[in-house]
Amino acid sequence: MSHPRRPRLPLASGRLWTGVMIALFAAHAAAQGVIKGDPAKAQQIVTQVCAACHAADGNSPSPANPSLAGQHPEYLYKQLRNFKPQNGKPAERNNGVMAGMVASLSDDDMKNLAAYYAGQKPKPRSAKDAALVKQGEAIYRGGIMAKGVAACASCHAPNGAGMPAQFPRLAAQHADYTAGQLKAFRSGQRANDPASMMRTIAAKMSDQEIAAVSEYIAGLR
């Protein structure tokens, strides 16, 4: 990025709110426990199934499919569980493609796959549109004060690495995927975020703001 890094805007109320959310979610994450999978045991499923869309190294070449490389194992495991209907309840994250993929996976398979993709090295990507990146950086680092949108950096970290185990990594994700998820949170089509954290934020964002922050995130490293 050519422009200099600015210090974070003082967003006192946003920080307080975020602090409350983090405390709430930390309790939730502690209840979930730390994921211990064996990446070697995931190799066969990766090669035969997942690699076609997410690549064997987790750096998906197509913007239609998210990159998984370096994502926190707890988040990956949670998403795999959420794609699958559990105990007679509908899937918490509704996606036709991934529903088919997880249907035959056991709980151990999911843990092993989560460990495998968490252990892959994310490849940096470059943002393309400089004007969007500038607006996106302001949103990512400072939020949108007039609308009460909290800074993304406060939960997903300034460099987009996230915070294990609570907040997923976003850096170097395809902009199309990030924008698609923000719109899905906004419409409520994706509703598996604890305490509605992402639905509350996305509900206040315009298409233009979503495009800008997604472009900035693609270039984060």
Distance CA 71, CA 74 (A): 9
Of the two residues 45 and 133, which places its CB atom closer to ligand HEC in the complex? 45
Of the two residues 59 and 154, which places its CB atom closer to ligand HEC in the complex? 154
CB of 211 to ligand HEC, least distance (A): 11
CB of 67 to ligand HEC, least distance (A): 8
CB of 88 to ligand HEC, least distance (A): 21
Distance CA 34, CA 32 (A): 7
Report whether 99 contacts 87 (CB < 8 A): no
Catalog residues that contact ligand HEC under the rule CB under 6 A: 18, 21, 45, 49-50, 52-54, 64-66, 68, 76, 78-80, 95, 97-98, 101, 113, 139, 149-150, 152, 154-156, 167-168, 170, 178, 180-182, 192-194, 197-198, 201, 213
Distance CA 126, CA 216 (A): 9
Of the two residues 139 and 218, which places its CB atom closer to ligand HEC in the complex? 139
Note the maximum CA span of the chain. 52
CB of 66 to ligand HEC, least distance (A): 4
CB of 208 to ligand HEC, least distance (A): 13
Going from the C-alpha of 213 to that of each of 23, 75, 126, 134, 190, the distances in angstroms are 25, 21, 14, 9, 19
If one counts every other C-beta atom within 10 angstroms of the C-beta of residue 153, the result is 19
Report whether 39 contacts 112 (CB < 8 A): yes
Distance CA 93, CA 19 (A): 26
Of the two residues 44 and 126, which places its CB atom closer to ligand HEC in the complex? 44
Of the two residues 3 and 23, which places its CB atom closer to ligand HEC in the complex? 23
Of the two residues 5 and 101, which places its CB atom closer to ligand HEC in the complex? 101
CB of 4 to ligand HEC, least distance (A): 21
Using CA atoms of 217, 82, 193, 26 in order, give the dihedral in degrees to the nearest 10. Answer: -100
Which residues 6+ apart lie within 8 Å of 129 measured at CB? 215
Backbone phi, then psi, for 23, in 5-degree steps?
Answer: -65, -45
Of the two residues 131 and 220, which places its CB atom closer to ligand HEC in the complex? 220
CB of 128 to ligand HEC, least distance (A): 18
If one counts every other C-beta atom within 10 angstroms of the C-beta of residue 30, the result is 11
